[in-house]
A and B are shown apart, each in its own frame.
Chain A
Amino acid sequence: MFELVPAYLAAGLPSLTAAFAGTGASLAHLSLLDIAVIAIYFVMVIWIGFYLKGQANTSEEFFMAGREMTAWIAGLSFVSANLGSLELMGWAGSSYQYGILAAHWYWIGAIPAMLFLGMVMMPFYYVCKTHSVPGYLKLRYGQGSSFVAAVSFAFMTVLMSGVNMFAMAEVMKIVLGWDLNFSIIVSSLAVAAYVALGGLRSAIFNEVLQFVLIWGGAMLVPILGLIETGGWSGFKARLAQNIATGEVLGGDYTHMWRSMGHFADNPMGIHWTGIVFGLGFAISFGYWTTDFLVVQRVLAANSLRSARLAPVIGSFFKMAVPFIVILPGLLGLVVLTNANGSHMQLVGENVVKDCARSASGGAPVNASLCSTDLATTAVLPATQQAVLAGTGDVQLHSYNEVLPLMMVRYLGPGLLGLGITALIAGFMSGMAGNVSAFTAIFTYDIYQPHIVKHARDEHYVLVGRIVTIAGVVISIGAAYAVRNAPGIMDYVQALFSFFISPLLGVVLLGMFWKRATKAGGFWGLLIGTLTSIGLWAWVYFYPPALRYVALSPDAKGMAENMYRALWSVSTAVGVNVIVSLFTKPKPLSELASVVYGVTPLPTEEPVPLYKNEWFWTAIAIVIFFALNIYFW
């Protein structure tokens, strides 16, 4: 959801907008050609919206894109819904800070879950013809748990859309110097227009467009970076040299598993059990298999085979994303330079903030605080002196600025506009994804069953269009609320993460255990969520409790997120099992099409090997293991 890092992963990472807040002048200046590139994108999305208006006349067309998407379109949209700009910039910053460890979120934190969704869970979602994940819960467990899931999801989705909007405006203000209100108004008008006109199909088309733009705009940065450093081995040699001279903090930046033996051995403060079971199962499966924002894209596929292939296709691109996200962050460790030609060393956002200069420039406003902060970093003494003296040729930048900085370094006029367009497209399609998911959930799972039950189809389409506009308006309100009270952003992210993992426990048990009952599902979801909230509050108000939640005194914030997810999914499953054993199950006849073992799956026509979903799944698994072994 939230694209700095999806909310379910966000804890422990610095806030991107906070990171930008302390910087001075804008990072990039656009030429006329860059502006033309951005303008063409806006013309294109509005054209798509108006063109697709004629294809969003029925509720099935408006909310489910007519279930006509090919495997490729659904797959690219599926992976693109999670490829927002804040995520790109946030993870590039993390890779500058922590090295290739950040790639765990793209590989073990996504691939097994995506393949599991396609191969194991998709048939049940698809065969029961549900419109949403709460819709599945209604079929399996009844109205109670479905309503809870729908309301919490709708509420959180629209809030996240606002947070996303605010973050985009803030980043555009800092990177390009754009006015905050201008960014919010232009982006919301564009999103409202194309989603209200074309529905989910329009959102999906724009996600595919965004996908192409992100690769077209961002892939050049690592390519040029690798040319400059002399390839991967040349990069490693230069990195080793920088570590030897003290310009880069010592550490293993190019291996993923070697330092996972103990919490204290890696800068993230995580143990491999947290990565494998917390991230690789509880968080990742929760997000990729039950978050309606991504599942909705696959439900729009034109056949069961396409629906199964879509996440598999998405998994290949997901495995490639570190090339445009992690690699630029790593390359930033060796190629970035200050205006005076010295090596640029990025720092934490607190240092940037504490070393902020006054509007007229010069030395930091609070020189002593800045000096104290700088002493805790690896910034070279000469650079520290230049910062404290306020010379114009050395400026402090935070880790999260590494991607824009790399873009400015490598991309000339036109190409820079393309890179910025990719970021804008990422923000806007993230917002559109949230709004279209909100619209479907509100109309199908709240309005239709509880407010107006038996209206004509046109009525629900009209409601969908109105709710889309309302969703954007609420998002704008949320964006300004976050602007006035930035702390809200952290709470919103935490709030969303509370629901995802318990939902996984309830959905999985419902799908694969006939004995799970309505009461079991409801209480499992409720107590699992309360467990997550309780653990979060425990650590929030009493930080030393982290050692108990994450099972080690050396654990850091990110480990807490993983173990909290693990405990909440375990609780949801445990409570569901216990309550189910003491309550009356549904008759098997009512479980057909929603539970494994009583659902006749349609037999699919044989296809050549290169079109077979199992074949591509096997290839994806091999590549997944090969990548992890290569970067072990």
Chain B
Amino acid sequence: MHSSAIPIWFFIGVLLTAYGVLILAYGLYELSTGIMAVQNYHASVWWGALMLLVGLFYLIRFRPSRANS
């Protein structure tokens, strides 16, 4: 990669973290109000949490300062 490049994995981390936060937050709201989409099995909670975790991992692992070092 370019010496000063932000790796693609960092961008993926940003995207997954943003999506994870939004979807998990909605899932928790859904859980608290008892609403559930048809056959959804509260997927927003566990899928959102999974995306958030993976996103955070990539965000930290490939953060620019670390990638450049």
Pairwise interchain contact B39-A409, C-beta atoms closer than 8 A: yes
Task: For the complex, give the distance between the alpha carbons of A473 and B47 in Å.
Answer: 39
Contact with A along B3-45 (1 / 0, CB 8 A): 0011010011011101100110011001000001111110110
In whole angstroms, how far apart are the Cα atoms of A200 and B43 in the complex?
Answer: 36
Inside 8 A of A413's CB, which chain B residues have their CB?
26, 37, 44
B51 within 8 A of A: yes
Q: When each residue 16-57 of chain A gets 1 if its CB lies under 8 Å from chain B and 0 otherwise, what string results?
A: 000000000000000001001100110010011001000100
A112 at the interface (CB under 8 A from B): no
When chains A and B are docked, how far (Å) is the Cα of A228 from the Cα of B39? 7
Min distance, Cβ B31 to any Cβ of chain A, angstroms: 11
A40 touches B43 (CB 8 A): no
- A243 contacts the other chain (Cβ, under 8 Å)? no
Determine if A40 and B12 form an interchain contact, defined as CB atoms under 8 angstroms apart.
no
Chain A 400-418 residues near chain B, CB threshold 8 A: 409-415, 418
Q: Is the CB of B22 within 8 A of A414?
A: yes
**Which one of A209, A227, A413 has the greatest number of beta carbons of chain B within 10 Å?**
A413
Contacts of A73 in B (CB 8 A): 8
Number of A-B contacts (CB under 8 A): 82
Q: How distant is B44 from chain A, measured CB to nearest CB, in Å?
A: 6
The closest CB in chain B to the CB of A48 belongs to B11
Kindly report which residue of chain B lies nearest to residue A55, judged by CB atoms: B2
CA distance A418 to B39 in the complex (A): 17
In the bound complex, how far is the Cα of B44 from the Cα of A36, in angstroms?
15
Give chain B residues whose Cβ lies under 8 Å from the Cβ of A55: 2, 5
Contact of A418 among B1, B8, B19, B40 (CB under 8 A): B19
A68 CA to B18 CA, complexed, in Å: 28
Rounded to whole angstroms, the CA-CA distance of A33 and B16 in the bound complex is 15
Decide: A418 near B23, CB < 8 A? Known: A40-B18, A68-B2, A209-B15. yes
Name the residue on A nearest B51 (C-beta): A216
- A414 and B23 contacting across the interface, CB-CB below 8 Å: yes
The interface on chain A, measured as residues whose beta carbon lies within 8 A of the other chain's beta carbons, has a size of 33
Q: With a CB–CB cut-off of 8 A, which chain A residues contact B6?
A: 51
> Is A276 on the interface with B (CB-CB < 8 A)?
no
Q: Does A212 contact B (CB under 8 A)?
A: yes
Residues on A with C-beta less than 8 A from B44 are 412-415
Q: In the complex, what residues of B have CB within 8 A of residue A216's CB?
A: 16, 19, 51
The reply to whether B1 and A209 contact each other, CB–CB distance below 8 Å, is no
Which residue on chain A has the smallest CB distance to residue B15?
A44
Q: Give Cα distance in the complex from A415 to B12, angstroms.
A: 17
How many B residues, CB 8 Å from partner? Answer: 28
B39:A44 contact, CB within 8 angstroms: no
Residues on A with C-beta less than 8 A from B51 are 216
- Which of chain A's residues have a CB closer than 8 A to the CB of B23? 33, 37, 414-415, 418
A414 to B6 Cα, complex, angstroms: 28
A551 beta carbon closer than 8 Å to chain B: no
A412–B8 touching, CB < 8 Å: no
- In the complex, A418 Cα to B5 Cα: how many Å? 27
A68 touches B1 (CB 8 A): yes
Interface residue from A33, A37, A209 paired with B12 (Cβ < 8 Å): A209
- Bound complex: CA A418 to CA B37 (Å): 15
The residue that A412 contacts in the complex, of B1, B2, B15, B30, with Cβ under 8 A, is: B30
Query: In the complex, which residues of chain B have a beta carbon less than 8 angstroms from the beta carbon of A213?
Result: 15
Of A228, A335, A411, A414, chain B has the most CB atoms within 10 Å of the CB of: A414
Determine whether the beta carbon of A41 is less than 8 Å from that of B1: no
- Which A residues are CB-close (under 8 A) to B5? 55
**Cβ of A218 to closest chain B Cβ, rounded Å:** 12
Pair B19/A410 contact, Cβ less than 8 Å:
no
A220, B43: Cβ atoms under 8 Å? yes
Q: Which residues of A contact B8 (CB under 8 A)?
A: 73, 205, 208-209
Contact of A409 with B38 in the complex, beta carbons under 8 Å: yes
Q: Is the CB of B37 within 8 A of A66?
A: no
B37 CB contacts on chain A under 8 angstroms: 410-413
A70 lies within 8 A of chain B by Cβ = yes
Contact at A414–B48, with CB atoms within 8 Å?
yes
The docked-state distance in angstroms from the alpha carbon of A418 to that of B55 is: 15
- Whether a CB of chain B sits under 8 angstroms from the CB of A224 is yes
CA distance A415 to B37 in the complex (A): 11
Q: Which residues of A have CB within 8 Å of B30?
A: 412
Q: B54 to nearest A CB, angstroms?
A: 9
Q: How far is the CB of A52 from chain B (nearest CB, A)?
A: 8
Give complex CA distance A70, B22 in Å. 31
A33–B26 contact, CB under 8 A?
yes
On whether the beta carbons of A410 and B39 are closer than 8 Å, the reply is: yes
Most buried by A among B36, B40, B43: B43
B26 (CB) vs chain A CBs: closest residue: A414
A599 to B22, CA, bound (A): 54
Query: Cβ of A44 and Cβ of B19 under 8 Å apart?
Result: no
With both beta carbons as reference points, the residue of chain B lying nearest to A208 in the complex is identified as B8
- Specify which chain B residues have a CB less than 8 angstroms from the CB of A414 in the assembled complex: 19, 22-23, 26-27, 44, 48
Q: How far is the CA of A36 from the CA of B18 in the complex (A)?
A: 10
CA A73 to CA B47, docked complex, whole Å = 24
In the assembly, what is the distance between CA of A70 and CA of B12, in Å?
A: 16
B43 and A44: CB pair below 8 A? Answer: no
Taking the closest CB of chain A, its distance from the CB of B7, in whole angstroms, is 9
Give the CA-CA distance A55 to B27 in the complex, in Å. Answer: 39
Chain A residues positioned under 8 Å from B12 (CB to CB):
208-209, 212
Determine which of A40, A66, A224 lies in contact with B39 in the assembled complex, contact meaning CB atoms within 8 Å.
Answer: A224
Residue in B closest to A47 when the chains form the complex, CB atoms: B11
Partner of B43, one of A37, A70, A208, A412: A412
9 contacts between A and B (CB under 8 A): A33-B26, A44-B14, A48-B11, A208-B8, A209-B15, A224-B40, A410-B37, A412-B37, A414-B27
9 smallest CB-CB distances across A and B, nearest first, come from A412-B37, A414-B23, A414-B26, A205-B8, A412-B40, A55-B2, A208-B8, A212-B12, A44-B15
**5 extra interface residue pairs, beta carbon distance < 8 Å, beyond A413-B26, A415-B23:** A70-B1, A213-B15, A410-B43, A412-B40, A418-B19
